[in-house]
Amino acid sequence: AVCSMGNSTSRLYSVLAKTLSSGAVSQHQDCLEQLDSAQLDPIDPKDLLEECQIVLQKRPPRFQRNFVNLKKNTASNHRPIRVMQWNILAQALGEGKDNFVQCPMEALKWEERKCLILEEILAYKPDILCLQEVDHYFDTFEPLLSRLGYQCTFFPKPWSPCLDVERNNGPDGCAMFFLKERFQLVSSANIRLTAMKLKTNQVAIAQTLRCRETGRLFCIAVTHLKARTGWERFRSAQGCDLLQNLKSITQGAKIPLIVCGDFNAEPTEEVYREFSNSSLNLNSAYKLLSPDGQSEPPYTTWKIRPSGECRHTLDYIWYSQHALNVNSALGLLTEEQIGPNRLPSFNYPSDHLSLVCDFSFNQDPDRLL
């Protein structure tokens, strides 16, 4: 089915409604690698959204979230660049390791959960999409998003915990997608993060893009740092390594930068301070939603595990504040919307909230350096 994707609704449905098993992924790997999005019929996003809604018709409707306008009275001569950051929850981890004690297993079924993920992406129409915990890249996200006009990149973790789960779909990793009609790829780097001079299991992707409308260059990066309490120094070392790589790629902040990620770190951690105080002059976009512009949201993940309730701010979109403006940011779900059983749920497919921001270039970035 994956090799013969046409443009009819029935064929589109067959792509959407079936997920290859781990065995099928290896069996069809040659076919998947040979897929050239230029040779495939494009998908109308409305058709894909309609197919998702058919699959989801027995589930509650998607939560309503509104954008908050943050733009100061500065004129922009180009369309904003919409960036979406999201840890989508690896399917193998959701079903096999994460122990969401208040979430029914039925809510985690991939056939429906992937449609909730796609519905969220289609609703916000990002120009650039940065995802973590992607373990269905080859059979779901790359085949579909490439046909929506995105250029797709995936970098798996070397020792993904998904591989420990029976009937897994391969390793999870970071993935980046950008609209080819809006951006041209200038350079791309897959970075395996180091800590204490040792290679770690965490990765990042950094791509330098040229905006076709303005001709301006900028760098977009996605990462997912080491999880769990007790690993704060390790995360700090990984953050330092990523910053060093990004300094080189951006020529010491000459090229504007946006960094999306699940940092697995609260704002009180050292790695957060490293990014805040970096010579790259970064600010965290979601701070701008607070009344004083200085405080992060109260949570970006909220779940219940056997050890108790976990409510943390771990996800960020960092940006070069001298070169970029944040025009707007997507408001977070309220506690009432999330509900007493927390995330994930029948309404929402991940334990992390998606973050979405609209950026524009400053007219005179050098003046602010």
Six-digit token pair at 228? 């769990």
CB 193 within 8 A of CB 200: yes
Residue 73 has pLDDT above 70, yes or no: no
Q: What is the pLDDT of residues 246-297, one digit of tens each?
A: 999 999 999 999 999 999 999 999 999 999 999 999 999 999 999 999 999 9
Give the Cβ contact number of residue 252 at 10 Å.
Answer: 11
Q: Which of 174, 199, 200, 201 is nearest to 189 (CA)?
A: 174
Residue 203 is predicted with a pLDDT of 98
Q: What is the pLDDT of residues 200-209, one digit of tens each?
A: 999 999 999 9
Confidence of residue 74 (pLDDT cuts 50, 70, 90): low
Residue 20 is predicted with a pLDDT of 43
Tell me the average pLDDT across 224-230.
96
Q: What is the pLDDT of residues 86-114, one digit of tens each?
A: 999 999 999 987 889 899 999 999 999 99
Residue 97 is predicted with a pLDDT of 79
Residue 32 has pLDDT above 90, yes or no: no
Tell me the average pLDDT across 67-83.
85
d(CA 41, CA 50): 18
d(CA 190, CA 166): 28
Q: What is the pLDDT of residues 116-172, one digit of tens each?
A: 999 999 999 999 999 999 999 999 999 999 999 999 999 999 999 999 999 999 999
Residue 347 has pLDDT above 50, yes or no: yes
**pLDDT above 90 coverage of the chain, percent:** 82
d(CA 232, CA 146): 37
Q: How far, CA to CA in Å, does 243 sit from each of 132, 180, 266, 300? A: 19, 27, 18, 23
Lowest mean pLDDT among 3-7, 141-145, 231-235, 328-332: 3-7
Burial of 299 (0-12, 13-18, 19+ CB in 10 A): buried
Q: Which of 333, 329, 357, 355 is nearest to 345 (CA)?
A: 333
Q: How do the domains of the chain map onto residue ranges? A: 78-361
Residue 356 has pLDDT above 60, yes or no: yes
Helix (H, G, I), strand (E, B) or coil at 204: strand
Tell me the average pLDDT across 297-305.
96
Helix (H, G, I), strand (E, B) or coil at 290: coil
- Facing residues of 329 across strands? 68, 357
Residue 273 is predicted with a pLDDT of 98
d(CA 86, CA 347): 16
Taking all residues of the chain, what is their mean pLDDT, rounded to a whole number?
Answer: 90
d(CA 175, CA 156): 8
The more confident residue out of 9 and 36 is 36
Burial of 311 (0-12, 13-18, 19+ CB in 10 A): middle
Residue 212 is classified by DSSP as: T
Residue 40 is predicted with a pLDDT of 76
| Cα dihedral: 61, 106, 19, 89 (round 10) | 80
What pTM value is reported for the model? 0.91
Question: Is CATH 3.60.10.10 correct for 78-361?
Answer: yes
Lowest mean pLDDT among 13-17, 307-311, 346-350: 13-17
